[in-house]
Structure 1
Amino acid sequence: MGESRTRPQASPRLKRMRRRRAQAARGAAAEVARFLRTEQIGGLVLLGATALALIIANSPLAGAYQRLSAYAFGPESLHLHLTVAQWAQDGLLTVFFVVAGLELKRELVVGELRDLRQAALPIAGAIGGMLVPALLCFLVAFGAPGGGDAWAVPVATDIAFALAVLAICAKDLPPSLRVFLLSLAIVDDLGAILLIAIAFTAHVALLPLLGAAAVLVAYGLLQQFRIRGWWLYLLLGLAAWALVHASGVHATVAGVAVGLLTRVKPDPGEHEPPATELEHRLQPISAGICVPLFAFFAAGITINAGALTAIFTDRVSLGVLLGLVVGKTVGVLGGAAIAVRTRLAALPEALNWRDLFAVAVVTGCGFTVSLLIAELAFAPGDQQSRVKGAVLLASLIASLLAAALLRRQVRVRAR
């Protein structure tokens, strides 16, 4: 008979070392997550992913980049045999929209949007900031090939990018300016989500859509009945996402629905409500992984003198550029001014119209959602690349102009 062997027990010293290493790893992960929750870092990571995509797409690695983007995997039977770029668009970006839904729910229930008079100013700015860019883009592109498809692209404002510009350049301006921009961007993104759901759904498969609705109702009921168990909600969220995707409606809509159905008010004795806990966990993943990866696969376009010239000679891409840089500024400022003049809203005492003008300019950073709409509105090809180039260029122009205006406001207030 062979000798029985027992696994040697770790010494107390070795156990302490392992515990310290595990604690150090958890501390490092928590520190990374904390950094990714800051608006400056999230914006810089997004900018870095975009720059990397542009560098690779204009280098000898461009072929490998395109092959990676086009590589498909996933179960065909569940309508989930998607390319890597589609997984980033339909899958990873859904996490971003869950966070957007959580932020919208919080603002509607316990934030600035719960008071209609306080909410009127950013809502009016958001409505103007959607209508004017869409109209301006439509008028510029009207009659050109693809001109009827471009109007929705300049409608959206990128929350992460816009707040990053504000956080970097306007730390000394009143906090109400950030509240105004955040509320406006959330309403703006809600409008963009509705556009995605309505305008870019070619066909609807009724059975999967009804299944998704049933799953989302179950999610909401479990929230109201205070049922615990993160794994249960994760399974329901994944099921809702898969069913919405199979229905033909863009899958990111499921993310917004999950965010809106998550309970945002804490119960007596509860440390924090589920919405706060979920946002706390998802925000670093969204800012550090999901949105940068989407930008990496969406922003890889060819940049040269000819491509830049084409943005200004093609009326469709020019309409997108003007819609974001000019239309957003005029629409947001005009919508807010109409609300104040008609006494639907009041300008916060700490702010003036120059502050709002700078913020109106920064809303021209369309970026993530505008790139998404560009991919939905145009088939892959030169036209889509020109429109994407217009979105990137407009976001760069808007961010630089807004940064200069915000720094000027900081200096004026300091004097």
Structure 2
Amino acid sequence: MRQDLTTGSITGTMLRFALPMILGNLLQQFYNIADTLIVGRCLGANALAAVGAAYALMTFLTSILLGLCMGSGAVFSLRYGEKSWEELKTSIFVSFILVAAVTLIINIGVFLMIDPIMSLMQVPEVIYGMMREYLWVIFYGITGVFLYNFFASLLRAVGNSLVPLLFLGVSAVLNIGLDLWFVLALHWGAAGAAAATVISQLVSGAGLCVYTLFRMPEFRPARRNCRIQKQILTEISRFSFLTCVQQSVMNLGILMVQGLVNSFGTVVMAAFAAAVKIDSFAYMPVQDFGNAFSTFIAQNYGAGKRLRIQEGIKSAAKTSVLFCLAISFAVWIFAEKLMLIFVQPQETEILAVGVGYLRIEGAFYWGIGCLFLLYGLYRAVRMPGMSVALTVISLGTRVALAYVLSSIPSVGLVGIWAAVPIGWILADLTGLLYYWRKGIAFK
């Protein structure tokens, strides 16, 4: 099931590799969409606001693990492209120990600091208890998040994007079934939705771990590989740390915006919670295509195929922009119908706010599509620091403009929404200018 991305048709190879990743992450979005839909429809606007705000915090914290796994995956891809099998196994062991240690620290930290964190987020008193209960349950499943993302990154790094999809598919179906049972039948409320997600994450993470270790022994470290080599630890730490910083900065910015949104009350919080799910679902395919593109670049970079890399960049840019334009058109036209998936028709204020958000964001998906490609490009060619710089530009602009523009009475909420695409475009221009003016290793 592994694909060698250094041979064959460039566009076809990238799309075949990306498709299972896209389907997998779309399924992963169903985790959150199932929670949001069932909670919004069955428990009301306050519960929807609580789960939506909790999701922003949850995404920020788990993005640290995701960044570590993505950085490790870049190293795995390079070793695979070089055919350095022993170094690959040692890298797998070192990375696993590193990410597992960080997972433990995060888990302990969340349970100790949950109340101060929620206070910083300006969570309204009316939903405070519900949100706290949801978060307390959801973070019992952080081990499942670690296991799934680590082994999925490993398999994708060596060209196997199908197996992670299969495990995630089972988990998504389980999550929806448990959501319905816990919330509708057992009446466990928001905590029931969290419990469904936790169980599903543990199933997918543990299942993928067992599959990789027992069905793919060529990636199982032998005793000689189970040692911490300083050179390998330094390389993995550099890639993982910078990718982790990138993911954390990205989601810290989102968390800060969530705090600003919270200050506008539960109506805006509920609209934002629903609209962000739609927004994320809409551009998720180009995010995964960017990750597939990064693996393509890393394997070919390790194999020394510079011309193939240049052709791959052109192909990926055309594919991503065309897809984003099509999705932008669809979201603009169907914004209200999409919001009605999550909220009742009589919630007219929530609908109006959500539609406004989607139409502003949706017109500029090409901006984030290009940004995901730039992230993947610089991460793959051993320049993860540039990915971090682009993230800081994008999110720094978003946060600063959101706070400044929303404070102007005539602008208000529209300023928060407009700040996002402005940040995307500034980061795109920076990344492209660096590529054209400074050049990178394969030009």
- In the superposition, the TM-score normalised over structure 2's length comes to 0.28
Pick the structure with more helix per residue. 2
Q: Which has the higher contact order (CA 8 A, sep 6+)?
A: 1
- In the superposition, the TM-score normalised over structure 1's length comes to 0.30
